[in-house]
A = this chain, B = another copy of it.
Amino acid sequence: MDNADRHLYFSFFNEVNIIGQLSRAQFEARLPKGVLLPHFSVLNHLVRVGDGATPLALARAFQVPKTTMTHTVSGLVQRAFVTLKSNPKDGRSKTVWLTNAGREFRDDAIKLLDDDMEALRAAIPADKISALVPALEEIRVFLDAYRNEPEDP
């Protein structure tokens, strides 16, 4: 690979990382102290796709180690934003359920973030974002699959 291509791919990942850092910091500055982006993200996910997911399913959805998701979910439990129930289909497992407080918190957080979202949309219109997301999804899917590939023998 020549230097130009190498630099291109490095630049891509560098931009992605910086956008991730900045957006996360911005998000968390709006949320109550101690509530982090992963907390909100999990609540939002449960609202959108429905609750009752297992912690492991959530870990996979967000591509984080399961120990990390245990930690995140325990924070949500402490704040009574979710409750855990045993999984009737699997005695090893649990299921995660939204409480009313969890739904309210998620709705309120979206309102808190809405001004920032609007400011972003004013600078970067929605069609520009729509144009990016499919390619990003493709890259994310590749990385996810690649990570699970067996090593060369």
| Chain A interface (Cβ < 8 Å from any Cβ of B) | 1, 5-26, 37, 41, 44, 48, 62-64, 110, 114, 116-121, 123-124, 126, 128-133, 135-140, 142-144, 146-147
Residue of B nearest to A129 (CB): B12
* Number of copies of this chain that the complex holds: 2
Q: Mostly helix, strand, loop or mixed at chain A's interface? A: helix
User: Smallest CB-CB separation from A40: which chain B residue?
Assistant: B10
CA distance A118 to B128 in the complex (A): 28
Given contacts A1-B121, A18-B63, A25-B147, 11 further A-B contacts (CB under 8 A): A6-B110, A8-B130, A8-B133, A15-B140, A16-B20, A17-B24, A116-B146, A119-B146, A123-B142, A128-B135, A132-B132
Expressed in whole angstroms, the minimum distance between the Cβ of A67 and any Cβ of chain B is 14
